[in-house]
Amino acid sequence: MMSPETAAKLLTLNRQFYQTLGPSFSSTRQHIQPGVRRILTTINPDAPILDLGCGNGALVRALAAQGHRARYVGVDFSAELLREASQNLPASLQTGFIQADLADPDWDAAITADSFQIVLAFAVLHHLPGYGLRKQVVQHVHSHLLPGGRLVHSHWQFLNSARLRKRIQPYYLIGISPEEVETDDYLLDWRHGGYGLRYVHHASIVELQTLAAETGFAILETFYCDGETGKLGLYQVWEAMDYNCNTK
């Protein structure tokens, strides 16, 4: 298990990355990935949505374009990205934005419990260091879903790309040893509009099966999509089960 000290270092690293290179990162996230578009076609326009790591708002604009009319709440820790996300949205869209860090145990304090049909977490969970923290976030997500609600999430599968594997960097660059992190944890560099480093976890299907079982979800769908190989994104759709019954 990852120590709290190591997790804190990696969280600080990622926060600094988005604070320093946020505009550069946002400029590369103006288009919706094919896998995300596939998911959007399945969303009922009357389903209330919670969007974790909403970033610059590309997703809410795509939802608006396809006629979504139910409540949408976006969560992100970056004030700059949230400002961008909230600009020029249709007046008819029921939107709200919350600045919160998913690593904070109380990140969802401002969110009404049991009030969403869908929670989206595209390319989000893999930036949370440690299985324990990812599990904690998913447990909170479960509490905000209506009965039968769904968690839809994606994970960056950068090991499926020879080009991206070259961007893996050694942990000594940030004063951490490989023994301090968990299996499938990596440090990747960023080279667009400046240089930076980010922590990324490479999730496996087996790991996600365990996480779903331990947090009260049933896996409904798994597929790969995106990138030059068609395998840069691992997508899953989970359905919230009765948590108490599911974990006895």
- The pLDDT profile of the chain, 248 residues, written as one tens digit per residue, is 899 999 999 999 998 887 776 665 555 555 799 999 999 999 999 999 999 999 889 999 999 999 999 999 999 998 888 998 998 888 778 899 999 999 999 999 989 877 999 999 999 999 999 999 999 999 999 999 999 999 999 999 999 999 999 999 999 999 999 999 999 999 999 876 678 899 999 999 999 999 999 999 999 999 999 998 899 999 999 999 975 544 33
Q: Does residue 140 lie in a domain region? A: yes
The model's pTM is 0.92
Residue 248: inside a domain, yes or no? Answer: no
Give domain status of residue 168, yes or no: yes
In a domain, 226, yes or no: yes
Number of domains the chain contains: 1
Structural domain harbouring 140 = 4-241
Q: Is residue 129 part of a domain?
A: yes
CATH number at residue 140: 3.40.50.150
- CA dihedral 5→177→102→22, nearest 10 degrees, is 120
The answer to the question of residue 246 being in a domain is no
Whether 186 maps to a domain, the answer reads yes
46 assigned to some structural domain: yes
